[in-house]
Structure 1
Amino acid sequence: MAVRLEVADGIAVISLARPERRNALTQAMLAEIEQLADGMRGRGDVRAVVLRGDGRDFSVGADIGEMEARMASPAPLAEARRAAQLGARVMRAVMGIDQPTVCAIEGIATGGATCLATACDFRIAGASARLGYGEVKIGINLMWHALGPVVALVGPARAKRLVMMGALHGAAELADWGLIDEIVPDGGADARAMALAAELAALPPLAVQMIKRSITALAHALDAAVLHADADQWLLATQGDDFAEAVAAFRERRPGRFTGN
Protein backbone atom coordinates (compact mmCIF):
# COMPACT_ATOMS: atom_id res chain seq x y z
CA MET A 1 0.00 0.00 0.00
CA ALA A 2 1.54 3.30 -1.10
CA VAL A 3 -0.14 5.38 1.64
CA ARG A 4 -0.20 4.10 5.21
CA LEU A 5 -2.22 5.24 8.24
CA GLU A 6 -1.23 4.52 11.83
CA VAL A 7 -2.98 5.90 14.92
CA ALA A 8 -1.61 5.78 18.46
CA ASP A 9 -1.80 8.00 21.53
CA GLY A 10 -4.08 10.51 19.84
CA ILE A 11 -1.76 11.05 16.84
CA ALA A 12 -2.56 9.88 13.32
CA VAL A 13 0.49 9.36 11.11
CA ILE A 14 -0.08 9.37 7.34
CA SER A 15 2.99 8.02 5.52
CA LEU A 16 3.82 8.18 1.83
CA ALA A 17 5.04 4.60 1.46
CA ARG A 18 6.59 4.29 -1.97
CA PRO A 19 10.29 4.76 -1.16
CA GLU A 20 11.47 2.72 -4.15
CA ARG A 21 10.09 5.53 -6.35
CA ARG A 22 11.08 8.29 -3.90
CA ASN A 23 7.39 8.54 -2.95
CA ALA A 24 6.38 9.87 -6.37
CA LEU A 25 2.69 10.68 -6.15
CA THR A 26 0.26 8.69 -8.29
CA GLN A 27 -3.41 9.50 -8.80
CA ALA A 28 -4.28 6.52 -6.60
CA MET A 29 -2.09 7.85 -3.79
CA LEU A 30 -3.70 11.27 -4.00
CA ALA A 31 -7.16 9.73 -3.84
CA GLU A 32 -6.09 7.75 -0.77
CA ILE A 33 -4.71 10.89 0.94
CA GLU A 34 -7.98 12.70 0.20
CA GLN A 35 -9.99 9.85 1.72
CA LEU A 36 -7.79 9.62 4.83
CA ALA A 37 -7.84 13.39 5.34
CA ASP A 38 -11.62 13.52 5.02
CA GLY A 39 -11.83 10.61 7.46
CA MET A 40 -10.08 12.57 10.18
CA ARG A 41 -13.22 14.65 10.62
CA GLY A 42 -14.99 11.85 12.45
CA ARG A 43 -12.03 10.67 14.52
CA GLY A 44 -12.53 11.75 18.11
CA ASP A 45 -9.53 9.60 19.03
CA VAL A 46 -7.21 11.77 16.90
CA ARG A 47 -5.91 15.04 18.34
CA ALA A 48 -3.11 15.74 15.83
CA VAL A 49 -1.94 14.46 12.43
CA VAL A 50 1.58 13.95 11.08
CA LEU A 51 2.29 13.66 7.35
CA ARG A 52 5.64 12.08 6.45
CA GLY A 53 7.44 10.00 3.81
CA ASP A 54 9.21 6.65 3.98
CA GLY A 55 12.83 6.50 2.81
CA ARG A 56 15.29 9.29 2.10
CA ASP A 57 12.87 11.76 0.48
CA PHE A 58 9.52 13.14 1.53
CA SER A 59 8.39 12.97 -2.11
CA VAL A 60 9.66 13.98 -5.55
CA GLY A 61 6.16 15.08 -6.55
CA ALA A 62 3.90 13.80 -9.29
CA ASP A 63 4.78 10.54 -10.99
CA ILE A 64 5.99 11.83 -14.38
CA GLY A 65 5.66 8.40 -15.99
CA GLU A 66 1.99 8.22 -15.06
CA MET A 67 1.47 11.75 -16.38
CA GLU A 68 3.10 10.86 -19.70
CA ALA A 69 0.94 7.74 -19.99
CA ARG A 70 -2.19 9.85 -19.54
CA MET A 71 -0.98 12.31 -22.15
CA ALA A 72 -0.26 9.47 -24.60
CA SER A 73 -3.85 8.22 -24.32
CA PRO A 74 -5.83 11.39 -23.70
CA ALA A 75 -9.28 11.10 -22.16
CA PRO A 76 -12.24 13.20 -23.34
CA LEU A 77 -11.76 16.79 -22.23
CA ALA A 78 -14.53 16.74 -19.60
CA GLU A 79 -13.09 13.59 -18.07
CA ALA A 80 -9.55 14.99 -18.15
CA ARG A 81 -10.80 18.14 -16.46
CA ARG A 82 -12.37 16.16 -13.64
CA ALA A 83 -9.15 14.19 -13.18
CA ALA A 84 -7.09 17.39 -13.14
CA GLN A 85 -9.14 18.68 -10.21
CA LEU A 86 -8.07 15.84 -7.90
CA GLY A 87 -5.06 17.75 -6.54
CA ALA A 88 -7.20 20.69 -5.47
CA ARG A 89 -9.57 18.30 -3.70
CA VAL A 90 -6.62 16.76 -1.86
CA MET A 91 -5.37 20.20 -0.79
CA ARG A 92 -8.83 21.15 0.48
CA ALA A 93 -9.07 17.86 2.36
CA VAL A 94 -5.68 18.26 4.04
CA MET A 95 -6.24 21.94 4.85
CA GLY A 96 -9.71 21.03 6.10
CA ILE A 97 -8.51 18.49 8.68
CA ASP A 98 -9.91 19.79 11.97
CA GLN A 99 -6.94 18.56 13.99
CA PRO A 100 -3.58 20.40 13.78
CA THR A 101 -1.27 18.92 11.16
CA VAL A 102 2.52 18.65 11.07
CA CYS A 103 4.58 17.72 8.01
CA ALA A 104 7.97 15.99 8.49
CA ILE A 105 10.28 16.61 5.53
CA GLU A 106 13.56 14.86 4.82
CA GLY A 107 15.48 14.97 1.53
CA ILE A 108 13.57 16.30 -1.46
CA ALA A 109 10.05 17.70 -1.63
CA THR A 110 9.05 19.13 -4.97
CA GLY A 111 5.92 19.98 -6.91
CA GLY A 112 2.87 18.27 -5.49
CA ALA A 113 4.85 17.18 -2.44
CA THR A 114 5.61 20.79 -1.53
CA CYS A 115 1.93 21.57 -2.12
CA LEU A 116 0.98 18.91 0.44
CA ALA A 117 3.54 20.26 2.91
CA THR A 118 2.11 23.78 2.65
CA ALA A 119 -1.40 22.40 3.20
CA CYS A 120 -0.29 21.36 6.69
CA ASP A 121 -0.21 23.73 9.65
CA PHE A 122 3.48 23.23 10.49
CA ARG A 123 6.55 22.02 8.58
CA ILE A 124 9.60 20.42 10.21
CA ALA A 125 12.58 19.84 7.90
CA GLY A 126 15.89 18.05 8.12
CA ALA A 127 18.87 20.37 7.70
CA SER A 128 19.67 19.10 4.19
CA ALA A 129 16.07 19.09 2.96
CA ARG A 130 15.33 20.96 -0.25
CA LEU A 131 11.92 22.06 -1.43
CA GLY A 132 10.49 23.73 -4.50
CA TYR A 133 7.93 23.78 -7.27
CA GLY A 134 9.31 22.30 -10.48
CA GLU A 135 6.16 22.45 -12.60
CA VAL A 136 7.41 25.32 -14.74
CA LYS A 137 10.33 23.17 -15.86
CA ILE A 138 7.96 20.79 -17.61
CA GLY A 139 5.94 23.63 -19.10
CA ILE A 140 2.95 23.69 -16.76
CA ASN A 141 1.51 26.03 -14.14
CA LEU A 142 1.25 25.31 -10.44
CA MET A 143 -2.23 23.95 -9.86
CA TRP A 144 -3.98 22.18 -6.96
CA HIS A 145 -5.03 25.64 -5.64
CA ALA A 146 -1.52 25.62 -4.15
CA LEU A 147 -0.63 29.25 -4.89
CA GLY A 148 -2.74 30.42 -1.96
CA PRO A 149 -0.74 28.60 0.73
CA VAL A 150 2.67 29.54 -0.66
CA VAL A 151 1.76 33.22 -1.02
CA ALA A 152 0.34 33.22 2.51
CA LEU A 153 3.56 31.73 3.86
CA VAL A 154 6.28 33.63 1.99
CA GLY A 155 4.59 36.63 0.36
CA PRO A 156 4.10 37.50 -3.33
CA ALA A 157 7.69 38.23 -4.43
CA ARG A 158 9.20 35.09 -2.94
CA ALA A 159 6.24 33.02 -4.14
CA LYS A 160 6.95 34.26 -7.67
CA ARG A 161 10.59 33.29 -7.31
CA LEU A 162 9.71 29.82 -6.03
CA VAL A 163 6.99 29.05 -8.58
CA MET A 164 8.17 30.94 -11.69
CA MET A 165 11.79 29.78 -11.53
CA GLY A 166 11.23 26.20 -10.36
CA ALA A 167 14.45 25.79 -8.38
CA LEU A 168 14.88 23.79 -5.20
CA HIS A 169 15.72 25.85 -2.13
CA GLY A 170 17.42 24.72 1.06
CA ALA A 171 15.64 24.39 4.38
CA ALA A 172 17.60 27.24 6.01
CA GLU A 173 16.63 29.72 3.29
CA LEU A 174 13.00 28.60 3.39
CA ALA A 175 12.95 28.93 7.17
CA ASP A 176 14.06 32.56 6.75
CA TRP A 177 11.25 33.03 4.23
CA GLY A 178 8.60 31.49 6.51
CA LEU A 179 7.83 28.29 4.60
CA ILE A 180 9.68 26.03 7.08
CA ASP A 181 8.85 26.33 10.78
CA GLU A 182 11.73 24.37 12.32
CA ILE A 183 14.99 22.81 11.13
CA VAL A 184 16.40 19.72 12.83
CA PRO A 185 19.46 17.56 12.16
CA ASP A 186 19.05 15.24 9.17
CA GLY A 187 17.04 12.19 10.14
CA GLY A 188 15.33 14.01 12.99
CA ALA A 189 12.23 15.41 11.24
CA ASP A 190 9.96 12.50 12.14
CA ALA A 191 10.84 12.59 15.83
CA ARG A 192 10.43 16.36 16.11
CA ALA A 193 7.15 16.27 14.16
CA MET A 194 5.83 13.60 16.52
CA ALA A 195 6.93 15.63 19.55
CA LEU A 196 5.19 18.76 18.24
CA ALA A 197 2.08 16.70 17.43
CA ALA A 198 2.10 15.37 21.00
CA GLU A 199 2.29 18.94 22.35
CA LEU A 200 -0.66 19.93 20.20
CA ALA A 201 -2.60 16.79 21.11
CA ALA A 202 -2.24 17.62 24.82
CA LEU A 203 -4.03 20.97 24.41
CA PRO A 204 -7.83 21.42 24.69
CA PRO A 205 -8.98 20.05 21.32
CA LEU A 206 -12.08 22.19 20.81
CA ALA A 207 -10.20 25.45 21.32
CA VAL A 208 -7.24 24.34 19.17
CA GLN A 209 -9.48 23.24 16.33
CA MET A 210 -11.62 26.40 16.36
CA ILE A 211 -8.50 28.60 16.36
CA LYS A 212 -7.03 26.63 13.46
CA ARG A 213 -10.21 26.86 11.41
CA SER A 214 -10.52 30.62 11.92
CA ILE A 215 -6.90 31.35 11.00
CA THR A 216 -7.09 29.13 7.92
CA ALA A 217 -10.33 30.77 6.77
CA LEU A 218 -8.86 34.25 7.24
CA ALA A 219 -5.59 33.47 5.43
CA HIS A 220 -7.30 31.81 2.46
CA ALA A 221 -10.56 33.72 2.14
CA LEU A 222 -10.00 34.58 -1.53
CA ASP A 223 -8.29 31.38 -2.71
CA ALA A 224 -11.34 29.75 -4.30
CA ALA A 225 -12.30 32.94 -6.16
CA VAL A 226 -8.81 33.48 -7.60
CA LEU A 227 -7.59 29.93 -8.17
CA HIS A 228 -10.73 28.21 -9.41
CA ALA A 229 -9.36 27.88 -12.97
CA ASP A 230 -5.86 26.54 -12.30
CA ALA A 231 -6.80 23.04 -13.53
CA ASP A 232 -8.13 24.58 -16.75
CA GLN A 233 -4.87 26.50 -17.13
CA TRP A 234 -3.03 23.17 -16.75
CA LEU A 235 -5.16 21.60 -19.48
CA LEU A 236 -4.33 24.54 -21.76
CA ALA A 237 -0.61 24.34 -20.97
CA THR A 238 -0.44 20.61 -21.76
CA GLN A 239 -1.85 21.18 -25.27
CA GLY A 240 1.11 23.25 -26.45
CA ASP A 241 4.37 22.29 -28.13
CA ASP A 242 6.34 23.71 -25.22
CA PHE A 243 4.89 21.09 -22.87
CA ALA A 244 6.08 18.20 -25.04
CA GLU A 245 9.47 19.88 -25.44
CA ALA A 246 9.75 20.53 -21.69
CA VAL A 247 9.01 16.90 -20.81
CA ALA A 248 11.50 15.67 -23.45
CA ALA A 249 14.17 18.07 -22.16
CA PHE A 250 13.52 16.91 -18.60
CA ARG A 251 13.87 13.27 -19.61
CA GLU A 252 17.00 13.91 -21.69
CA ARG A 253 18.59 16.21 -19.08
CA ARG A 254 19.12 19.05 -21.54
CA PRO A 255 17.99 22.66 -21.84
CA GLY A 256 14.61 23.09 -23.46
CA ARG A 257 14.04 24.98 -26.69
CA PHE A 258 10.79 26.87 -26.19
CA THR A 259 8.77 28.83 -28.74
CA GLY A 260 5.77 30.00 -26.74
CA ASN A 261 3.47 27.62 -28.63
Structure 2
Amino acid sequence: MSVKETVGDFITIEREGRVAVVRFDRGDRINALSVQLLRDLAQTARLLREDIETSAVVLTGGQVFTGGADLTDPAIRQRAAASLLERREMLRAGPDMCDAWEALDQVTIVAIEGFCIGGGVALSVSCDFRVTGKSAYFRLPEIPLGMNMSWHTQPRMVNLIGPSRTKQFTIFGEKVDAGTAEKWGLADEICEDGAALATARRWADKVAALPPVSVRMAKRGITQAATALNAVSTFMDADQFALASTSEDHREAVNAFLEKRKPDFTGR
Protein backbone atom coordinates (compact mmCIF):
# COMPACT_ATOMS: atom_id res chain seq x y z
CA MET A 1 0.00 0.00 0.00
CA SER A 2 1.38 3.40 -1.00
CA VAL A 3 1.09 6.65 0.93
CA LYS A 4 1.14 9.96 -0.92
CA GLU A 5 1.77 13.48 0.37
CA THR A 6 2.42 16.85 -1.23
CA VAL A 7 5.01 19.54 -0.63
CA GLY A 8 4.14 22.97 -1.99
CA ASP A 9 2.18 23.22 -5.24
CA PHE A 10 4.13 20.92 -7.55
CA ILE A 11 5.79 18.13 -5.54
CA THR A 12 4.39 14.75 -4.54
CA ILE A 13 6.05 12.08 -2.40
CA GLU A 14 4.72 8.56 -2.76
CA ARG A 15 6.05 5.98 -0.32
CA GLU A 16 5.67 2.25 -0.85
CA GLY A 17 7.64 -0.15 1.30
CA ARG A 18 11.20 1.11 1.60
CA VAL A 19 11.01 3.23 -1.58
CA ALA A 20 9.87 6.84 -1.96
CA VAL A 21 9.15 8.37 -5.38
CA VAL A 22 9.39 12.15 -5.52
CA ARG A 23 7.89 13.91 -8.53
CA PHE A 24 8.10 17.63 -9.24
CA ASP A 25 5.80 18.60 -12.07
CA ARG A 26 4.61 22.05 -13.11
CA GLY A 27 2.44 20.52 -15.82
CA ASP A 28 4.22 21.99 -18.86
CA ARG A 29 6.98 21.01 -21.28
CA ILE A 30 9.72 22.97 -19.53
CA ASN A 31 9.17 22.15 -15.84
CA ALA A 32 11.35 25.10 -14.88
CA LEU A 33 12.78 25.58 -11.39
CA SER A 34 11.23 28.65 -9.76
CA VAL A 35 12.76 29.92 -6.53
CA GLN A 36 9.80 28.56 -4.57
CA LEU A 37 10.14 25.16 -6.23
CA LEU A 38 13.84 25.11 -5.27
CA ARG A 39 12.86 25.77 -1.66
CA ASP A 40 10.16 23.10 -1.79
CA LEU A 41 12.62 20.56 -3.22
CA ALA A 42 15.02 21.37 -0.38
CA GLN A 43 12.21 20.95 2.14
CA THR A 44 11.31 17.61 0.55
CA ALA A 45 14.88 16.37 1.02
CA ARG A 46 14.86 17.49 4.65
CA LEU A 47 11.61 15.61 5.27
CA LEU A 48 13.07 12.48 3.71
CA ARG A 49 16.26 12.74 5.74
CA GLU A 50 14.20 12.09 8.87
CA ASP A 51 12.50 9.05 7.29
CA ILE A 52 14.17 5.92 8.65
CA GLU A 53 11.67 3.63 6.89
CA THR A 54 12.91 4.57 3.40
CA SER A 55 16.07 3.09 1.87
CA ALA A 56 15.86 4.52 -1.66
CA VAL A 57 14.43 7.69 -3.19
CA VAL A 58 13.55 8.07 -6.88
CA LEU A 59 13.42 11.67 -8.12
CA THR A 60 11.65 12.48 -11.37
CA GLY A 61 10.11 15.43 -13.21
CA GLY A 62 7.01 15.70 -15.38
CA GLN A 63 6.92 15.46 -19.17
CA VAL A 64 10.62 16.37 -19.03
CA PHE A 65 13.02 16.45 -16.12
CA THR A 66 13.59 20.22 -16.13
CA GLY A 67 14.71 23.09 -18.34
CA GLY A 68 16.56 24.66 -15.42
CA ALA A 69 15.99 27.94 -13.62
CA ASP A 70 12.71 29.75 -14.37
CA LEU A 71 13.92 33.03 -15.88
CA THR A 72 10.34 34.37 -15.85
CA ASP A 73 10.09 34.00 -12.07
CA PRO A 74 9.55 37.47 -10.47
CA ALA A 75 11.82 36.39 -7.60
CA ILE A 76 14.70 35.99 -10.07
CA ARG A 77 14.01 39.31 -11.79
CA GLN A 78 14.01 41.07 -8.41
CA ARG A 79 17.68 40.19 -7.96
CA ALA A 80 18.72 42.77 -10.55
CA ALA A 81 17.51 45.63 -8.33
CA ALA A 82 18.66 44.12 -5.03
CA SER A 83 21.67 45.17 -2.98
CA LEU A 84 24.69 42.88 -3.03
CA LEU A 85 23.87 41.60 0.45
CA GLU A 86 20.26 40.90 -0.56
CA ARG A 87 21.42 39.24 -3.77
CA ARG A 88 23.75 36.91 -1.87
CA GLU A 89 20.84 35.78 0.29
CA MET A 90 18.56 35.32 -2.74
CA LEU A 91 21.18 33.08 -4.37
CA ARG A 92 21.08 30.53 -1.54
CA ALA A 93 18.02 28.62 -2.79
CA GLY A 94 19.81 26.61 -5.50
CA PRO A 95 22.90 25.47 -3.60
CA ASP A 96 20.87 24.83 -0.44
CA MET A 97 18.56 22.57 -2.44
CA CYS A 98 21.42 20.58 -4.00
CA ASP A 99 23.20 20.26 -0.65
CA ALA A 100 20.00 18.94 0.96
CA TRP A 101 19.69 16.19 -1.65
CA GLU A 102 23.35 15.23 -1.36
CA ALA A 103 22.95 15.01 2.43
CA LEU A 104 20.36 12.21 2.23
CA ASP A 105 21.51 8.86 3.62
CA GLN A 106 19.04 7.03 1.38
CA VAL A 107 20.26 6.02 -2.07
CA THR A 108 18.93 8.54 -4.60
CA ILE A 109 18.15 7.66 -8.22
CA VAL A 110 17.14 10.34 -10.74
CA ALA A 111 14.81 9.38 -13.61
CA ILE A 112 15.37 11.72 -16.57
CA GLU A 113 13.17 12.09 -19.64
CA GLY A 114 13.44 14.73 -22.37
CA PHE A 115 16.10 17.09 -21.12
CA CYS A 116 18.04 18.03 -18.02
CA ILE A 117 19.39 21.57 -18.28
CA GLY A 118 21.32 23.96 -16.02
CA GLY A 119 19.97 23.68 -12.49
CA GLY A 120 18.54 20.28 -13.41
CA VAL A 121 22.07 19.01 -14.00
CA ALA A 122 23.12 20.52 -10.67
CA LEU A 123 20.29 18.66 -8.91
CA SER A 124 20.92 15.38 -10.73
CA VAL A 125 24.64 15.26 -9.84
CA SER A 126 23.76 15.89 -6.20
CA CYS A 127 22.13 12.46 -6.26
CA ASP A 128 23.69 9.01 -6.51
CA PHE A 129 22.52 7.59 -9.86
CA ARG A 130 20.96 8.88 -13.07
CA VAL A 131 18.72 6.81 -15.39
CA THR A 132 17.82 8.42 -18.73
CA GLY A 133 15.52 7.79 -21.64
CA LYS A 134 17.51 7.18 -24.82
CA SER A 135 16.45 10.53 -26.38
CA ALA A 136 17.20 12.57 -23.26
CA TYR A 137 20.09 15.01 -23.13
CA PHE A 138 22.01 17.16 -20.64
CA ARG A 139 23.17 20.75 -21.17
CA LEU A 140 24.80 23.56 -19.20
CA PRO A 141 24.04 26.95 -20.85
CA GLU A 142 25.56 29.14 -18.13
CA ILE A 143 29.01 29.91 -19.60
CA PRO A 144 27.72 30.85 -23.10
CA LEU A 145 25.26 33.16 -21.29
CA GLY A 146 28.10 34.94 -19.50
CA MET A 147 27.52 33.36 -16.09
CA ASN A 148 29.38 30.75 -14.05
CA MET A 149 28.23 27.27 -13.11
CA SER A 150 27.26 27.53 -9.46
CA TRP A 151 25.11 25.59 -6.95
CA HIS A 152 28.26 23.73 -5.77
CA THR A 153 28.11 21.72 -9.00
CA GLN A 154 31.60 21.71 -10.54
CA PRO A 155 33.38 19.43 -8.03
CA ARG A 156 30.45 17.02 -8.07
CA MET A 157 30.84 16.70 -11.84
CA VAL A 158 34.62 16.29 -11.52
CA ASN A 159 33.92 13.47 -9.04
CA LEU A 160 31.70 11.79 -11.64
CA ILE A 161 33.31 12.39 -15.02
CA GLY A 162 36.77 13.86 -14.39
CA PRO A 163 38.18 17.34 -15.03
CA SER A 164 38.56 17.25 -18.82
CA ARG A 165 35.00 16.14 -19.52
CA THR A 166 33.67 18.52 -16.89
CA LYS A 167 35.42 21.34 -18.75
CA GLN A 168 33.96 20.21 -22.08
CA PHE A 169 30.48 19.93 -20.61
CA THR A 170 30.62 23.23 -18.71
CA ILE A 171 32.57 25.57 -20.99
CA PHE A 172 31.11 24.72 -24.40
CA GLY A 173 27.48 24.61 -23.25
CA GLU A 174 26.67 21.93 -25.83
CA LYS A 175 24.12 19.14 -25.56
CA VAL A 176 25.41 15.85 -24.18
CA ASP A 177 23.19 13.05 -25.43
CA ALA A 178 22.30 10.01 -23.36
CA GLY A 179 24.85 7.74 -25.05
CA THR A 180 27.70 10.17 -24.43
CA ALA A 181 26.50 10.76 -20.88
CA GLU A 182 26.62 7.02 -20.20
CA LYS A 183 30.09 6.74 -21.75
CA TRP A 184 31.32 9.60 -19.56
CA GLY A 185 29.74 8.25 -16.37
CA LEU A 186 27.14 11.00 -16.07
CA ALA A 187 24.30 8.54 -16.81
CA ASP A 188 24.25 5.09 -15.21
CA GLU A 189 21.68 3.40 -17.43
CA ILE A 190 19.87 4.26 -20.67
CA CYS A 191 16.39 2.89 -21.27
CA GLU A 192 13.59 3.32 -23.77
CA ASP A 193 11.93 6.72 -23.79
CA GLY A 194 9.14 6.80 -21.24
CA ALA A 195 10.70 4.03 -19.16
CA ALA A 196 13.10 6.06 -16.99
CA LEU A 197 10.85 6.06 -13.93
CA ALA A 198 10.17 2.31 -14.11
CA THR A 199 13.88 1.62 -14.61
CA ALA A 200 14.86 3.88 -11.71
CA ARG A 201 12.25 2.14 -9.60
CA ARG A 202 13.93 -1.22 -10.32
CA TRP A 203 17.20 0.24 -9.04
CA ALA A 204 15.37 1.45 -5.93
CA ASP A 205 13.79 -1.96 -5.35
CA LYS A 206 17.25 -3.56 -5.44
CA VAL A 207 18.41 -1.12 -2.77
CA ALA A 208 15.26 -1.68 -0.70
CA ALA A 209 15.96 -5.44 -0.56
CA LEU A 210 19.33 -4.85 1.14
CA PRO A 211 20.08 -4.28 4.86
CA PRO A 212 19.14 -0.60 5.39
CA VAL A 213 21.78 0.34 7.95
CA SER A 214 24.62 -1.17 5.90
CA VAL A 215 23.39 0.62 2.77
CA ARG A 216 23.26 3.98 4.53
CA MET A 217 26.72 3.57 6.03
CA ALA A 218 28.22 2.54 2.69
CA LYS A 219 26.62 5.42 0.82
CA ARG A 220 27.69 8.01 3.40
CA GLY A 221 31.26 6.71 3.55
CA ILE A 222 31.67 6.73 -0.23
CA THR A 223 30.07 10.18 -0.58
CA GLN A 224 32.28 11.69 2.11
CA ALA A 225 35.41 10.20 0.54
CA ALA A 226 34.48 11.60 -2.90
CA THR A 227 33.36 15.05 -1.75
CA ALA A 228 35.63 15.88 1.19
CA LEU A 229 37.10 18.99 -0.48
CA ASN A 230 34.03 20.09 -2.44
CA ALA A 231 32.90 22.78 -0.01
CA VAL A 232 36.36 24.35 0.00
CA SER A 233 36.35 24.73 -3.78
CA THR A 234 32.80 26.09 -4.14
CA PHE A 235 32.19 28.30 -1.13
CA MET A 236 32.33 31.40 -3.33
CA ASP A 237 30.48 30.21 -6.42
CA ALA A 238 27.34 32.21 -5.54
CA ASP A 239 29.48 35.35 -5.22
CA GLN A 240 31.04 34.55 -8.59
CA PHE A 241 27.54 34.22 -10.05
CA ALA A 242 26.54 37.58 -8.56
CA LEU A 243 29.60 39.17 -10.16
CA ALA A 244 29.29 37.46 -13.56
CA SER A 245 25.60 38.32 -13.87
CA THR A 246 26.41 42.05 -13.66
CA SER A 247 28.91 41.92 -16.56
CA GLU A 248 28.40 43.49 -19.98
CA ASP A 249 29.10 40.08 -21.51
CA HIS A 250 26.14 38.57 -19.65
CA ARG A 251 23.82 41.29 -20.92
CA GLU A 252 25.21 40.85 -24.44
CA ALA A 253 24.69 37.08 -24.27
CA VAL A 254 21.06 37.44 -23.19
CA ASN A 255 20.34 40.13 -25.80
CA ALA A 256 21.96 38.07 -28.56
CA PHE A 257 19.92 35.04 -27.55
CA LEU A 258 16.67 37.00 -27.62
CA GLU A 259 17.60 38.68 -30.92
CA LYS A 260 18.77 35.36 -32.46
CA ARG A 261 22.21 36.66 -33.41
CA LYS A 262 25.82 35.81 -32.66
CA PRO A 263 27.07 37.56 -29.46
CA ASP A 264 30.09 39.88 -29.42
CA PHE A 265 31.97 39.32 -26.14
CA THR A 266 34.52 41.85 -24.87
CA GLY A 267 35.46 40.63 -21.39
CA ARG A 268 33.76 43.59 -19.74
Q: Which runs of 5+ in 1 are unaligned?
A: none
AA in 2 matched with 1:83:
M
Equivalent in 237, 240, 251 of residue 258 of structure 2: 251
Q: Does 1:214 align with 2:221?
A: yes
Q: Does 1:31 align with 2:39?
A: yes
Following superposition, the deviation at residue 246 of structure 1 comes to 1.2
AA in 2 matched with 1:164:
I
Following superposition, the deviation at residue 132 of structure 1 comes to 1.8
Q: Which runs of 5+ in 2 are unaligned?
A: 1-8
Residue pairs, 1:50-89, within 5 angstroms:
50-55=58-63, 57-66=64-73, 69-72=77-80, 74-89=81-96
Name the TM-score, length of structure 1 as normaliser: 0.96
CA distance in 2, matches of 1:156, 1:17: 33
Residue aligning to 2:141: 134
Residue pairs, 1:1-261, within 5 angstroms:
1-20=9-28, 22-55=30-63, 57-66=64-73, 69-72=77-80, 74-261=81-268
Name the SS of the counterpart of 2:125 in structure 1. Answer: helix
Tell me the alpha carbon deviations over residues 43-76 of structure 1, each in whole angstroms, 9 at most, x when there is no partner.
1221210110111x1101011222762245x222
CA distance in 2, matches of 1:59, 1:145: 18
Percent identity for Structure 1 against Structure 2: 39
Tell me the alpha carbon deviations over residues 99-156 of structure 1, each in whole angstroms, 9 at most, x when there is no partner.
0000000111010001111111010000011002111122100000001111111100
Which has the larger displacement, 4-13 or 20-29?
4-13
Aligned residues: 259
Tell me the alpha carbon deviations over residues 149-206 of structure 1, each in whole angstroms, 9 at most, x when there is no partner.
1111110000000001111110001100111000001111010001111111111110
CA distance in 2, matches of 1:201, 1:240: 48
State whether residues 40 and 98 of structure 1, in contact with CA within 8 Å, keep that contact through their aligned partners in structure 2. Answer: no
TM-align CA RMSD: 1.3
CA distance in 2, matches of 1:50, 1:252: 39
Name the TM-score, length of structure 2 as normaliser: 0.93
Following superposition, the deviation at residue 95 of structure 1 comes to 0.5
CA distance in 1, matches of 2:254, 2:153: 22
Greater share of helix residues, 1 or 2? 1
Following superposition, the deviation at residue 257 of structure 1 comes to 1.6
CA distance in 2, matches of 1:117, 1:142: 14
CA distance in 2, matches of 1:95, 1:254: 39
Q: Any runs of at least 4 consecutive aligned residues in structure 1 with deviations exceeding 6 A, and if so which?
A: none
CA distance in 2, matches of 1:6, 1:79: 36
CA distance in 2, matches of 1:235, 1:28: 19
1:21 and 1:82, CA in 2 relative to 1: closer, same or farther beyond 3 A? farther
State whether residues 110 and 168 of structure 1, in contact with CA within 8 Å, keep that contact through their aligned partners in structure 2. Answer: no
